[in-house]
Amino acid sequence: MNQAPAPARRLFAPILAGASLRDRAIACAGALIGIMLTWLVCARFSAVGTTLPILIAPIGASAVLLFAVPASPLSQPWAVIGGNTVSAIIGVAVARLVHQPALAVGLAAGGAIFAMSILRCLHAPGGAVALTAVIGGPAVIGAGPWFAFMPVAVNSLVLVLAAWLFHRFSGHSYPHRATVPHARADATGPIFHPDAIDRALADLGETFDVSREDLDLLLQRAAIHDRAARSAGARRRNGS
C-alpha cells in the first residue's frame, strides 16, 4: 500500500499533473539553451546604438511555458509570438494615448487579455509585455511601435524556433499534437463525442489549460488503464 508523502517531501512534489523529475530537468536544460540562443541571436541583429534591451523580461516567463509545459495551448507558436507581439502593440497604444499611470497599466493588461483572446493567441506573459510597454521607461516608450517588433516579436520568434529544435530531442512534441505513443497504442476510439466534452467544459464554467484533443486522449488512456485494473482485480478475486 502506498503511503502518503511526508509533509516536507510534499512541499516539493510537482503540482502539474504528469510532471516528473526528468521533465523538470529537461525544462531547465531547455530554458538555459533557449534563452541563451535568443540572447545571442537578438544581440547580433539588435540595432546599433539603440537603448532598447536585447531581451525583455517577460520572455523568461515564455520560456517557462515553452520548456516546462510544451503541451499547453498557451505555449504553442502562435500563442507565444502572436500573444507577446499583440500585447506589445496594445501596450504601446495605451502608453501613447493614456497619461494617467493607474488607468494606463490597467488598460494595457486588460486590453492585452481581450486582444489575445479574440485573436486566439492567449499567452500569460503577454500581460507583462503590455505592462512593460507602459512602464518600461523612456527608451521603451520612445521606441513606440518599433518595440513590438524588436525586441518583442524577434525575441518570441527566436525562442519558439529554439523550442522547436530542442523538443526534436526532448521526447515532447512541439508544436504539440495529441498523439498516442506507438509503444502504448491500443485499438480504441474516442469514448466521448467531442460535443459532449465541449458541453461538459461549458457546464463547469472554467477555462482549463489543456486542449480538447489532449483531454479526450487522457480520458481514453484512463479508460484503458481502468479496464486493465478491473480485470487484474477480478483475476485476483477468482484465484483466491
pLDDT digits over 111-130, tens only? 999 999 999 999 999 999 99
pLDDT band at 187 (very low <50, low <70, confident <90, very high): very low
Calpha distance 114→85 (Å, rounded)? 14
pLDDT the model gives residue 180: 57
pLDDT the model gives residue 46: 76
Over residues 106-112, the mean pLDDT reads 98
Residue 77 gets which letter from DSSP? H
Q: Where are the beta strands (DSSP E) in the chain?
A: none
Q: Are 159 and 80 in contact (CB under 8 A)?
A: yes
pTM of the model: 0.78
Has residue 100 got a pLDDT over 90?
A: yes
**Cβ-proximal residues to 204 (8 Å cutoff; 6+ apart), any chain:** none
Render pLDDT for 45-87 as a digit per residue (tens, 0 to 9): 876 567 889 999 999 999 999 999 999 999 999 999 999 999 9
Euclidean distance between the first and the last CA atom of the chain, given in angstroms as a whole number: 19
Calpha distance 81→232 (Å, rounded)? 48
Distance of CA 178 to the CA centre of its chain: 15
And the C-alpha cell for 81? 509570438
- Among candidate residues 90, 77, 224, the one with its CA nearest the CA of residue 161: 77
- In one-letter notation, the amino acid at residue 176 is H
Over residues 24-34, the mean pLDDT reads 94
pLDDT band at 176 (very low <50, low <70, confident <90, very high): confident
H runs (alpha helix) in the chain:
7-10, 21-45, 58-68, 77-97, 101-118, 125-135, 138-143, 146-147, 154-170, 194-204, 212-239
**Cβ-proximal residues to 186 (8 Å cutoff; 6+ apart), any chain:** 180, 224
